[in-house]
Amino acid sequence: MGDIHTRIEGACGRITLQRPETLNALSHPMVLQIEEALDAWATDDRVRMVLVDAEGPRAFSAGGDLQSMYETGRKQNWEFGRRFWRDEYRLNAKIFNFSKPYAALMQGFTMGGGVGISCHGSHRIVGDTSRIAMPECAIGLIPDVGGTLILARAPGRLGEYLGTTGQRMGAGDAIHAGFADYYIPEADWPALTAELEQTGDWTRIDAAARPVPDSPLADDQARIDASFAGETIWDILRALPDDGWGDGVRDRLAAQCPLSAACTVELVHRARALDRIDYALLQEYRFTSRSASEGDFIEGIRAAIIDKDGRPNWSPATLGDLTPAAVTHMLRPLGADELKL
């Protein structure tokens, strides 16, 4: 069994992630195989829609293949990660602009790269186990794969909040924040899949949808909007209230990479200003292409994934030590090396 299975089943182009032992982490070959399938199906009249799912109950996809990123980064092979991101971002843009309905069934964890191959589709389905997040600031990265555009389109200032804290969203929160469209109990997914394969009729998804669960994020919307309306991460810190909720948010922000959190706020603002997937990906690539060579990405992976000690040595160590010039540096144009989609 390979890491991914692409095929045509009835009227559907089908993509199934098959790495449950790694929470269906996306490798570079998997990205290329998905892109190859989409390129073929875009003009194949047999394929009326695309349906993406994954094996295992724990995750649709918890993100990218960080182990390979760490091993190559430790050897100062920066090009490995940069090539991965260029190819992945090209795929994200193709999904966003795909000419046919693109549905994703997102059980369990859907994070990082998993968001990139699901949440840019036209029909995004969650169930009771779904936990969606963009937690990249915790490993010295930023919400990428076009995630800054999804965050920028979230109601109010949820984008800045979700991007900097990495908070996980259940089904109701994911739909409220614009990361998903439909709540369908996971017990109903096999029958829905069979219907879609047989008919290619994406309106069956609308018919199968159930009422959206409650959203705790919606309940917190007003205070999130009030606290995260500033231009910079430092404005946000100053605006947080001195109460239990505000203290909890401060603690979550303090656990993130300072450089990543500050750049995330700026990137969400840039994505909101222009509202284009190609522009969002270009801005994200400016950070990610530097994240291993000039940022804290390798140290973040070490602390979270390799040694699992939970004690990253960020540089600078705190938001109080970070300067606006460092944010400008990480997001400055790359000249001839800019992302080309």
Residue 129 has pLDDT above 70, yes or no: yes
Task: Give residue 1's pLDDT band: very low, low, confident or very high (50, 70, 90).
Answer: low
Walk me through the domains of the chain, giving residue ranges and CATH numbers: 4-137+167-208 (3.90.226.10), 217-337 (no CATH)
Task: Give residue-wise pLDDT tens across range 190-229.
Answer: 999 999 999 999 999 999 999 999 999 999 999 999 999 9
Residue 257 has pLDDT above 70, yes or no: yes
User: From residue 202, how far is each of 39, 51, 196, 295, 324 by CA, in Å?
Assistant: 20, 10, 7, 43, 47
- Closest C-alpha among 246, 336, 279, 281 to residue 142: 281
At residue 140, the pLDDT reads: 98
Mean pLDDT, rounded, for 249-267 = 98
For 109-175, give the DSSP string. EEETHHHHTTTTSSEEEE-TT-EEE--GGGGT--S-TTHHHHHHHSSTTHHHHHHHH---B-HHHHH
Task: Give residue-wise pLDDT tens across range 142-162.
Answer: 999 999 999 999 999 999 999
Mean pLDDT, rounded, for 57-74 = 92
Mean pLDDT, rounded, for 237-250 = 97
Percent of the chain clearing pLDDT 70 (strictly above): 100
Mean pLDDT, rounded, for 122-126 = 98
Mean pLDDT taken over the chain: 97
Residue 311 has pLDDT above 90, yes or no: yes
Give the three-class secondary structure for 269. helix
**What pTM does this model have?**
0.97
Mean pLDDT, rounded, for 159-173 = 98
80, 71 Cβ separation under 8 angstroms: no
Task: Give residue 95's pLDDT band: very low, low, confident or very high (50, 70, 90).
Answer: very high
Task: Give residue-wise pLDDT tens across range 23-32.
Answer: 999 999 999 9
